[in-house]
Amino acid sequence: MKIFLDASFIIYLNVDVPDSLAEKIDALYEQLITSSKLYTDVLVIDEVIHVSRKKYKVPYSKTIEMLDDIVIPYVEVLPIGLMEYLKAKENILKYNLKPSDAIHLAVIENNGIQAIVTEDEDFDRVPIKRIWL
């Protein structure tokens, strides 16, 4: 199955969380790596770096190291271009999504991805499977 990783999931791989949550996150990631083809987009990478520093005070260098060590080797990072913008416009109006979520959904739709791993319940309003803990 082709699965998209949203920023919320990758951020949890990067920040200090209670052990019980960390175990669930790690187990899910291990399962996804071994059973699915994983994708994300460049906007997610931006969100992970920005939110990790702003909200959790993780230095840029630590987040970049985490991305390089445990995300990039297993996850294909998809580009965002004009076709994603055109689809995102529709998604904003049709599903009342934030622009960044509408762009992620456009990437998902334009690349035939079947599910998204995200904490964001806004994705429950769209015709794609949402996976969470």
**Domains of the chain (ranges, CATH numbers):** 2-131 (3.40.50.1010)
- pLDDT at 21 (0 to 100): 95
Residues ≥6 apart with Cβ < 8 Å to 78: 39, 40, 41, 42, 107, 111
What's the pTM value of the predicted model, to 2 decimals? Answer: 0.96
- pLDDT at 105 (0 to 100): 99
pLDDT mean by block of 10 residues, the chain; 133 residues? 98 96 97 98 99 98 99 98 98 98 99 98 97 96
- pLDDT at 125 (0 to 100): 95
- pLDDT at 112 (0 to 100): 98
Classify residue 96 as left (phi > 0), alpha (psi -120 to 50) or beta: left
Cα–Cα distance, 77 to 61 (Å, whole number): 19
- pLDDT at 28 (0 to 100): 98
